[in-house]
Amino acid sequence: MSQRFAHIYRDAADVRAGKVPKSSSVACCACCPESISNPLYSSCAACQGIRYCGRSCQKRAWKGQGGYYRQQHKDQCTEIKGFMAEMPDVQAILKQSPWAILNKDGEFNYELALA
């Protein structure tokens, strides 16, 4: 098993055993590598699809001054808002799948779905 994907296989084993994978409950900032431990984390008010560890990271991402994508969030916000509007339909479909795990925040583990 590749070390690069080891966490995905461990998560899949947890799902088969009826457990919620540990990675399913960790939210990460879209601008820096910090995990979001504060339940009052900041998310984009317009699209509600991107999360940040705080206001400073949110401002940097809006201007494209940081983050993993190196693209200004303001250029992507409208498109993400459209995806977020479709989320209830996608969740309803995924809930019918035996391998789907709904995270505490209402999202599904994307990497686990690909495994």
pLDDT digits (tens, 9 = 90+) for 62-100: 888 765 656 788 888 999 899 888 888 877 777 777 666
Helix (H) or strand (E) holding 41: none
- Structure letter (DSSP) for residue 98: T
Higher-scoring residue by pLDDT: 22, 54? 54
| pLDDT in the model for residue 1 | 47
What span, in angstroms and rounded, lies between the C-alpha atoms of 80 and 18?
A: 32
| Containing structural domain, residue 99 | 3-114
Query: Contact 38/51 with Cβ under 8 angstroms?
Result: no
Give the single-character DSSP code of 71.
S
From CA 21, how far away is CA 40, in angstroms rounded? 23
| Total domain count, the chain | 1
Q: Report the percentage of the chain scoring pLDDT > 90.
A: 3
